[in-house]
Structure 1
Amino acid sequence: MKKKIAMIQYDIVFGDPAKNRERAEKWIAEAAETEAEIILLPELWTTGYDLTRLDEIADKDAKESIEFLSNQAKKWNVTFVGGSVAEQCEDGVRNTLLVINQNGELVHKYSKLHLFQLMDEHLYLEDGQDESDFELDGEKASGFICYDIRFPEWLRKSAVNGTKVMFVVAEWPAPRIDHWRALLQARAIENQCFIVACNRVGADPKNEFGGMSLVIDPWGEITAEGSSGEEIVTTEIDLDLVDEVRGRIPIFQDRRVDRY
């Protein structure tokens, strides 16, 4: 099964959900013109890392973000891996990834499991308790958020469950952008699946972000790569390649689950 992907890597207005939805709408219209079937947005695209004001600006149960993406999905007939948003839940704020299909239906929600202490996430966010896996047109897929990719055992769980494509949304800082590339290539190779990873660009008051959104195939080859500036990165992936690679090097059959 082939899918055309568009990843929107752009700067995010610090702490202003209304302006960010306005910006996203313009970028989505441009991405839709590429005839993409799946569009990705970056992590925390409605607020950025304005963590100290999340109680004020977070989206209650992500309803406003879901409605926005649902309307855009139906308008352009696309599926969204809608980045992640600050979701106000009963017990606090979570960093939540949203998957909306082309009919405007919420397919999946996943709240970030691993909170990044270097950017004070643990002080302002609750960790997620969701599973990362979902179905995309009958194929198994999964979604992860930024720091998650430093935990290979978390992504391996999805691979063992049969996922063929791992979507990653991020606000990955520019000083560690080499880690971004290396970690994502490793996750693709060891799990023999596609990695589709969208990272923001620009800066907030404390951080500069690196862009370089990536698509990596199950052999670990980079098939699309963004720059450090605002742009839409497009490519096509063929999920049948996953079966071919897993058939040639049967690592999942050779795992020693009796020992680890």
Structure 2
Amino acid sequence: MQLRVALCQFDMGWEDIPGNLAKAGRMIGSAEAGLVVLPEMFATGFVLDPRRVAEPMDGRIVTWMREYACRTGRALTGSAIIRDDGRYFNRQLFVRPTGEVTVYDKRHLFSIGGEGGLFTAGTERVVVEYGGLRLLLLVCYDLRFPVWSRCRNDYDAIVYSASWPESRREVWRTLLRARAIENEAYVIGVNRVGVDPSARYTGDSVIVDFMGRTAADAGDRETVIEATLDREALERFRTKFPAWRDADPFTLG
């Protein structure tokens, strides 16, 4: 099984939901991939006060994602600020071409920067099956916590949507490869470029294979990159070098 993946790296307008949705649509219009991945809070920018821009699950952002997926026959995933049952979530949305939506709520909120103030942290890992591959959905700061992303033979690729600032650029690049190597899995990391009121972003969106090799790299400009994930190649490597069998057992609380 093979899955073609496209990463959309762009500079988003601050709290400009209509403008950002239109821009994302233009950028990914020419993608040939079966799965398109967007950055963290792609429709608003990394807003720490969700009360200003949060939407319900039937709001503009989710509606746009469902319409796009249904119209193009591609799956679409990215993070958005969602208001649900009186609480606010940094929610990764995975939308299938049927319009079905699977959600993952960011587990590790960036409390250092204030994200932990009004947002509610998620409690469950979420793996979705699509295009013959099993995909673990994670968001930005989750990248720093390897236990949460440890592969227990339950996924083939990790998908990270992020708003990762330039000041920690090398951390981003290093940890993406570390997660790929230690879990013997593909890693997809999509970041934004540009500036917002608190940070500058240099992109470095990348697709890394199970040996830590770069399959596609977006650099520091607005662009769409693509690469193919090959599950058979991954399984051959895991069979030949089954380091995962020697991993320490643990239980997540």
Interval of TM-score (by shorter of Structure 1 and Structure 2)? over 0.9
Aligned residue type for 2:89: R
Report the counterpart of residue 21 of structure 1 in structure 2. Answer: 21
Instruction: Note the alpha carbon deviations across 1:12-37, whole angstroms, 9 max, x for none.
Output: 111121221122221221xxx23111
Report the counterpart of residue 32 of structure 2 in structure 1. Answer: 35
Structure 1 window deviating more from structure 2 (193-202 vs 121-130): it is 121-130
Structure 1 window deviating more from structure 2 (62-71 vs 219-228): it is 62-71
Report the counterpart of residue 135 of structure 2 in structure 1. Answer: 141
Structure 1 window deviating more from structure 2 (169-178 vs 248-257): it is 248-257
Does the Cα contact within 8 Å between 1:109 and 1:130 map onto a contact in 2?
no
User: Equivalences for 1:118-137 in 2 at 5 Å?
Assistant: 118-137=112-131
Bigger fraction of residues in helix = 1
Report the counterpart of residue 51 of structure 1 in structure 2. Answer: 48
Q: CA deviation at 1:160?
A: 0.2
Aligned residue type for 1:224: A
Report the counterpart of residue 62 of structure 2 in structure 1. Answer: 66
Report the counterpart of residue 91 of structure 2 in structure 1. Answer: 96
Q: CA deviation at 1:161?
A: 4.3
Q: CA deviation at 1:240?
A: 1.5
List alignment gaps of at least 5 residues for structure 2.
none
1:220 to 212, 215, 237: 212
Structure 1 window deviating more from structure 2 (144-153 vs 231-240): it is 231-240
User: Equivalences for 1:102-251 in 2 at 5 Å?
Assistant: 102-106=97-101, 108-156=102-150, 159-251=151-243
Structure 1 window deviating more from structure 2 (115-124 vs 217-226): it is 115-124
Aligned residue type for 1:78: R
Instruction: Note the alpha carbon deviations across 1:149-208, whole angstroms, 9 max, x for none.
Output: 10000000xx10420011110000011111111101000000001001110111101100
Report the TM-score, using the length of structure 2 for normalisation: 0.94
List alignment gaps of at least 5 residues for structure 1.
none
Does the Cα contact within 8 Å between 1:202 and 1:208 map onto a contact in 2?
yes
Aligned residue type for 1:215: I
Alignment identity in percent? 29
Does the Cα contact within 8 Å between 1:11 and 1:203 map onto a contact in 2?
yes
Q: CA deviation at 1:62?
A: 5.6
Q: CA deviation at 1:138?
A: 4.4
Q: Distance in 2 between matches of 1:114 and 1:16?
A: 25
Does the Cα contact within 8 Å between 1:201 and 1:228 map onto a contact in 2?
yes
Report the TM-score, using the length of structure 1 for normalisation: 0.91
Distance 1:77 1:61, change over 3 A: closer
Report the counterpart of residue 7 of structure 1 in structure 2. Answer: 7
For the aligned residues, what is the CA RMSD?
1.8
Does the Cα contact within 8 Å between 1:62 and 1:88 map onto a contact in 2?
no
Does the Cα contact within 8 Å between 1:69 and 1:80 map onto a contact in 2?
yes
Q: Distance in 1 between matches of 2:153 and 2:120?
A: 26
Aligned residue type for 2:120: E
Distance 1:213 1:149, change over 3 A: same
